[in-house]
Each structure stands twice: as structure tokens, then as C-alpha cells.
């Protein structure tokens, strides 16, 4: 059976992202990328044209784990981010900033999956790879 209409599915929960810079002054960047959605039900191809989007709706998504941290907070990159398009920058700390431990909090519905019409119904899977680079972008 084919999907007659396009659909957007909202997430129901998202884990927090925790980062620790033990004192390196070089800065850092976090990217995220989603692999193509593959069919896990054993029949048919993967999802064609599907996009996985991360859109942090919080006004201050990144907080220092220690309230006395004097380092400049890392920056959350503007949303929404299409993770299906390849490695997408989601956080960045300039040289000398982002020292210490930080947590990024997402609302339960901050991720969404868009599936265009014409895809087969089934079970699909994708892996999101988070990459921390020891240098600002």
C-alpha cells in the first residue's frame, strides 16, 4: 500500500545532549547527520524524499551544568536543521568559549519526520550520528 498524502510525524521524546570541554581553548563544533531511512519490515525500498528535522523551540536550549561557570556559553545554531541533508552544525563554541560541562535540552516534539506521498507503508530506520570536532567552525 502506498501513502496517498504527505505526512509529518512529530517526535514524542528526545534525549538531552551533554558535552564536556575539560579546558581546551580551541573551541568546538557539534554536527548531526541522519542516514537514509531503510525499510526494516523486509519488503520494499527505503523512504524516498523523507527529511528528518531538528528544531529546538527553547529560547535558551544550552545551559552550563555548573551555575558558577564563567566561560561563554556555546551557541545553538539557528533552527530548523535538516539532518537528512548531511552533517549539519547544531552547536558551536568559539576559541576560548564553551569550557566546562553543558547540557542542551530539547522539547519532546522538537524532531519531526516529513514523508512525501507515494512511499510504501512499513517500518523504517535511520541512525543519527553526532560528531564533536575539537575546533570551532
Q: Which of 101, 35, 53, 111 is closest to 73 using CA atoms?
A: 101
Answer yes or no: is pLDDT of 30 > 90: yes
The pLDDT score that the predictor gives to residue 64 is: 96
Condensed to tens digits (0 to 9), the pLDDT of residues 33-56 reads: 999 999 998 777 899 999 999 888
pLDDT tens profile 63-91: 999 999 999 999 988 777 889 989 999 99
pLDDT for position 59: 78
Helices (H), the chain: none
Whether residue 137 contacts residue 99, with contact meaning beta carbons closer than 8 Å, is answered with: no
* pLDDT of res. 1: 43
Q: How far apart are CA 55 and CA 96, in angstroms?
A: 27
The pTM score is: 0.86
pLDDT at position 132: 92
Query: What are the boundaries of each domain within the chain?
Result: 7-129
Please state, for a pLDDT cut of 90, what percent of the chain lies above it.
Answer: 57
Query: Model confidence at 113, in pLDDT bands (50, 70, 90)?
Result: very high
In the structure, what pLDDT confidence band is assigned to residue 135 with cuts at 50, 70 and 90? confident
Q: What average pLDDT is seen over the chain?
A: 88
Amino acid at each position: 500500500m502506498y501513502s496517498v498524502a504527505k505526512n509529518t510525524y512529530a517526535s514524542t521524546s528526545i534525549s538531552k545532549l551533554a558535552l564536556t570541554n575539560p579546558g581546551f581553548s580551541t573551541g568546538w563544533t557539534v554536527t548531526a547527520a541522519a542516514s537514509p531511512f531503510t525499510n526494516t519490515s523486509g519488503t520494499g525500498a527505503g523512504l524516498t524524499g523523507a527529511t528528518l528535522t531538528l528544531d529546538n523551540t527553547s529560547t535558551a536550549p544550552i545551559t552550563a551544568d555548573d551555575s558558577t561557570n564563567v566561560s561563554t556559553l556555546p551557541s545553538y545554531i539557528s533552527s530548523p536543521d535538516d539532518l537528512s541533508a548531511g552533517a549539519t552544525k547544531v552547536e558551536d563554541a568559539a576559541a576560548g568559549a564553551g569550557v566546562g560541562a553543558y547540557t542542551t535540552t530539547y522539547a519532546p516534539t522538537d524532531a519531526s519526520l516529513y514523508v512525501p506521498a507515494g512511499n510504501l507503508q512499513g517500518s523504517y530506520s535511520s541512525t543519527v550520528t553526532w560528531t564533536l570536532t575539537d575546533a570551532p567552525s
